[in-house]
Structure 1
């Protein structure tokens, strides 16, 4: 068999290098689009190391304040991306004073990195303490899911293994939306298999606006790069968000 001519080898090398070179800008564009999305209404990186204030990087000024005698001086730690906050699962939490979250039947997406050491507590919550009026994303019966108060909807897979996991939830807008038909859960960039809970997953959702947004209430473990969008992110976007964030740290999904 005759060997390839030098010109052909050069062409093949140029093609491979060119294709690889175009991949990085594509990922960078996805990252930029998700970070600068006008529907990103809350983004807490938790990179602070001192004080009691958690900055909102969405540009919407939904800054938070640590409560329960906690501060970043004691709760700041190394995160999945930069720094993270470590909640003790007691009375420590972050309150976004004056912001009521994404309310009513409006579409929304929440995404975060978590490293939980116990299957309890909320990643983020808001609403009104009435049936169907709360919106809590966190642990439900030991699994990550959603509680609108009255019903619940959660994934089968465990995530409290003291390992970093990317979790997300999407609510599609409807009149009214319900857990079964309009909520999707994601784990590590992929749609999660959901536990069958019968009629409870048909509970209607109409989130109230009485309570401030609270992060980390009774959560035990680390939370990093928490985002709230007031629109539905597609499966591809959530996967891109997971990959974008996951690739930014060398020890991917490690303890």
Structure 2
């Protein structure tokens, strides 16, 4: 729920909120901080293990960092862009399921023991290229009709053909093994061969931001925020009854081939084709004036009181974090 505050530029109000992290209850103690800059943000609300902030200033927030009790901690900054229907951050770090952070409850079940590892942001999943995968529950919101965006941070080993995201007969994003070329298929033309293998500069053993958009017959491939390739291809997506998988090709709703060889993090599905500027935002974590963003602390916290310090590129503020 939005909590209104004064719009006076130069004042930062950290509202009292409560969030849940690692089974504890966390409370931010309110405080008022002043600044001379037009780069201003404030806390709007919280949900589970995330905090929503708003950039209420006139400058772009192009970086944000945090310390807990004087020690730097990692955070994930995700601009709130419309159309998100599935989001798997893999920050559980253990267990046999992967939660859907979009709120749509597309929970993934890990198949054949892919490993939890340190990722691009927080934790990620390491796939062995042999028989690993993640099977989503049958969520209607990823059964997309029309336009789509598929986004992920990938760290491939390029040893074999590697599926990033696959929903049989509807949409599929694949990295070719020996070359690192990228290909696509969708319900309008279910053929990797017709789309072709595209050299967009994907490298082995390094984290890269890979995005495919499909809008009304034009498919675009982005790498690290840059539009690397586009071509006319088919038309709009149509619905199928297939179940979506991450990390494997599933012809009969069972992982069967093209198992991803490497690591995947921060998978997101949108029910529209994002613009190049939106994709650049997601790659860089930029928060535009007037825009909301989700901040996720990626640290395990113990009960008691902690000092949390949030900083942008030009201002900082401090709050007391009480963990019960």
Q: TM-score, normalised by structure 2?
A: 0.57
Matched with 1:211 is 242
Query: By how many angstroms is 1:204 displaced?
Result: 4.7
Matches of 1:219 and 1:207 in 2, distance apart?
25
Give runs of aligned pairs for residues 105-124 of structure 1, distance below 5 A: 106-118=146-158, 120-124=161-165
**Structure-2 change in CA distance of 1:202 and 1:168 (3 Å):** closer
Matches of 1:186 and 1:214 in 2, distance apart?
21
User: Which residues of structure 1 form unaligned runs of 5+?
Assistant: 1-16, 129-133, 249-255
Give runs of aligned pairs for residues 35-114 of structure 1, distance below 5 A: 37=82, 39-67=83-111, 69-70=112-113, 75-99=115-139, 101-104=142-145, 106-114=146-154
Counterpart secondary structure, 1:193: strand
User: Which residues of structure 2 form unaligned runs of 5+?
Assistant: 1-35, 41-56, 65-76, 249-258, 287-295, 297-324
Q: Could you list the runs of 4 or more consecutive aligned residues of structure 1 that deviate by over 3 angstroms after TM superposition?
A: 19-28, 201-208
**Structure-2 change in CA distance of 1:84 and 1:190 (3 Å):** same
Asked whether the 8 Å contact 2:225–2:283 carries over to 1, the reply is: yes
Q: TM-score, normalised by structure 1?
A: 0.71
Matched with 2:204 is 161
Give runs of aligned pairs for residues 235-254 of structure 1, distance below 5 A: 235-244=276-285
Q: Which structure dedicates a bigger proportion of its chain to helix?
A: 1
Of residues 190, 197, 205 in structure 1, which corresponds to 2:226?
A: 190
Query: By how many angstroms is 1:135 displaced?
Result: 1.1
Matched with 1:171 is 214
Query: By how many angstroms is 1:144 displaced?
Result: 2.0
Matches of 1:56 and 1:121 in 2, distance apart?
22
Matched with 1:13 is none
**Structure-2 change in CA distance of 1:232 and 1:27 (3 Å):** farther
Counterpart secondary structure, 1:242: helix
Matches of 2:99 and 2:139 in 1, distance apart?
14
Q: Which structure dedicates a bigger proportion of its chain to strand?
A: 2
**Structure-2 change in CA distance of 1:18 and 1:47 (3 Å):** same
Instruction: Number of aligned residue pairs: give it.
Output: 207
Cα displacement string for residues 43-77 of structure 1 (whole angstroms, at most 9, x for unaligned residues): 0001122211000000011110011x215xxx000
